[in-house]
């Protein structure tokens, strides 16, 4: 039989991940790239926030797959994530892994302000809520009881370290947000992070997570620590190179950029050895179980709202989950990126894994239905070998525990 031929369009000229995936698809000889406006495609590699979801799944005889989940911004915008975590019964334990946070709108937007007491009820019942009064109540309570009172204000849509202020002063934080003119999140600053030696330096952890069309959650085997070049100094909150590990800030403002790790990146193999040697701890039994549970909690919480299982098209998505670890080795979720880049050396393996797990399971490359069923990572379901336009409404298929560089959670 003739091997299948599929078609795809690419509408994101800025994504290095999907540029690499496009090359991989074409190299198989089973995929043809169409002009970006051609509606007769099997796969759309679209640009986040500019996807025509309403027009997907209406081409007769075509199964269509897109590289984002509609509604995933509930996780990927800082203010939306705070609201989701605060108002979801499934995430009641979030105080154990998400820093205390408040959504703050600048006063010129005249957003309804939640009362200092019973603020969660106001948050649940209003599409937009300014939590400045709730924040101030918590701030003053902590100050009166001599608790740590450093907070960080972050723009909800900001990236690369933009729109950030760290301060002890609540009024300074609120005035900063009002002057910025856009919604921010004020979050309790983790004042006692686990630090890397030598250098007494901060770091965060980026983990890549792939959500396939059947809502199976996969964690990429490799992770990366984004490290600071400068010593952590809790007495100087103005030195961003001491407090923020964003590559652009470190590269632009620190004279020590690359001194400790090439490109200020430490990969899991080195971190694994560091934990064992320095703290006599095992990455797989201390840090990773916490990371995995937080990822599952967040993604399972929004499954009813974003799953495409019963829609006329299907989705998959790559996420970047960012974590910090405190001096007690407790893991904290910082934010979630819905269109993450990755370290240069990881592109070939990560992108091939995305093709194998998220794309080739929907569009098998084998010429016969029997062979495609046997070669599919989801071969436990013989119905998966045949692509039909109503396959989206089939029962969820359980993926194997390990597929290439990914582990199913």
Q: List the alpha helices (DSSP H) in 45-190.
A: 73-76, 78-87, 119-125, 132-144, 170-180
> What confidence tens digit (pLDDT) does each residue in 114-134 have?
888 877 888 888 889 999 999
Stretch (H or E) spanning 351 = helix 347-354
User: Which one, of 97, 189, 181, 177, lies nearest residue 149 by Cα?
Assistant: 189
Q: Is 285 helix (H, G, I), strand (E, B) or coil?
A: helix
Q: Which of 305-309, 320-324, 394-398 has the lowest mean pLDDT?
A: 394-398
| Top-confidence range, 116-130, 137-151, 290-304, 392-406 | 290-304
- How crowded is residue 13: how many other Cβ atoms within 10 Å of its Cβ? 9
Question: What's the chain's average pLDDT?
Answer: 88
User: Which one, of 14, 43, 45, 140, lies nearest residue 361 by Cα?
Assistant: 43
Residue 353 pLDDT exceeds 90? yes
If you average pLDDT over residues 269-293, what whole number do you get? 97
- Give CA–CA dist 278/268, Å, rounded: 15
- Give CA–CA dist 345/246, Å, rounded: 18
Residue 306, beta-bridge partner list: none
> What confidence tens digit (pLDDT) does each residue in 240-254 have?
999 999 888 998 888
If you average pLDDT over residues 142-165, what whole number do you get? 84
pLDDT at 367: 56
Q: Is the pTM of this model over 0.85?
A: yes
pLDDT at 375: 37
pLDDT at 88: 92
pLDDT at 355: 96
- Give CA–CA dist 243/246, Å, rounded: 9
Residue 373: pLDDT band with limits 50, 70, 90? very low
Residue 2: pLDDT band with limits 50, 70, 90? low
179 and 157 Cβ atoms separated by less than 8 Å: no
pLDDT at 83: 94
Q: Which of 116-130, 133-147, 303-317 has the lowest mean pLDDT?
A: 116-130
Residue 130, beta-bridge partner list: 113
If you average pLDDT over residues 47-62, what whole number do you get? 89
- Give CA–CA dist 45/63, Å, rounded: 14
> What confidence tens digit (pLDDT) does each residue in 315-333 have?
999 999 999 999 999 999 9
- Give CA–CA dist 294/99, Å, rounded: 13
If you average pLDDT over residues 299-326, what whole number do you get? 95
pLDDT at 384: 27
- Give CA–CA dist 278/274, Å, rounded: 6
If you average pLDDT over residues 133-149, what whole number do you get? 92
């Amino acid at each position: 039989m003739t091997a299948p031929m599929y078609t795809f369009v690419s509408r994101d000229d800025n994504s290095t991940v999907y540029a690499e995936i496009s090359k991989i698809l074409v190299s198989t000889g089973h995929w043809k790239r169409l002009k970006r406006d051609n509606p007769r495609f099997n796969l759309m590699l679209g640009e986040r926030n500019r996807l025509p979801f309403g027009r997907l799944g209406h081409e007769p005889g075509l199964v269509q797959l897109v590289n984002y989940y509609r509604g995933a911004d509930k996780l990927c915008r800082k203010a939306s994530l705070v609201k989701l975590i605060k108002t979801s019964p499934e995430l009641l334990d979030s105080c154990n892994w998400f820093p205390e946070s408040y959504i703050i709108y600048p006063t010129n937007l005249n957003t309804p302000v939640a009362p200092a007491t019973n603020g969660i009820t106001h948050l649940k019942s209003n599409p937009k809520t300014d939590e400045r009064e709730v924040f101030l109540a918590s701030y003053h309570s902590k100050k009166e009881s001599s608790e740590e009172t450093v907070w960080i204000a972050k723009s909800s849509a900001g990236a690369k370290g933009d729109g950030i202020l760290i301060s002890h002063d609540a009024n300074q934080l609120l005035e900063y947000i009002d002057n910025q003119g856009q919604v921010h999140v004020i979050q309790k600053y983790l004042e006692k992070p686990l630090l890397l030696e030598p250098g007494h330096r901060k770091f965060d952890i980026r983990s890549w997570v792939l959500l396939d069309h059947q809502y199976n959650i996969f964690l990429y085997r490799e992770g990366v620590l984004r490290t600071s070049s400068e010593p952590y100094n809790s007495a100087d909150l103005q030195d961003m190179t001491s407090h923020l590990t964003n590559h652009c800030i470190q590269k632009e403002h620190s004279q020590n950029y690359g001194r400790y790790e090439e490109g200020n990146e430490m990969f899991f193999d080195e971190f694994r050895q560091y934990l064992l040697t320095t703290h006599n701890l095992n990455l797989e039994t201390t840090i990773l179980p916490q990371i995995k549970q937080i990822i599952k909690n967040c993604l399972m919480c929004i499954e009813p709202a974003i799953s495409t299982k019963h829609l006329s098209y299907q989705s998959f998505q790559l996420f970047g989950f960012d974590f910090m670890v405190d001096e007690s080795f407790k893991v904290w979720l910082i934010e979630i990126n819905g269109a993450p880049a990755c370290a240069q050396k990881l592109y070939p393996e990560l992108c091939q894994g995305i093709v194998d797990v998220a794309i080739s399971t929907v569009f098998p490359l084998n010429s016969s239905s029997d062979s495609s069923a046997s070669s599919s990572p989801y071969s436990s379901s013989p119905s998966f070998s045949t692509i039909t336009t109503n396959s989206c409404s089939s029962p969820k298929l359980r993926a194997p525990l390990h597929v290439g560089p990914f582990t199913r959670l």
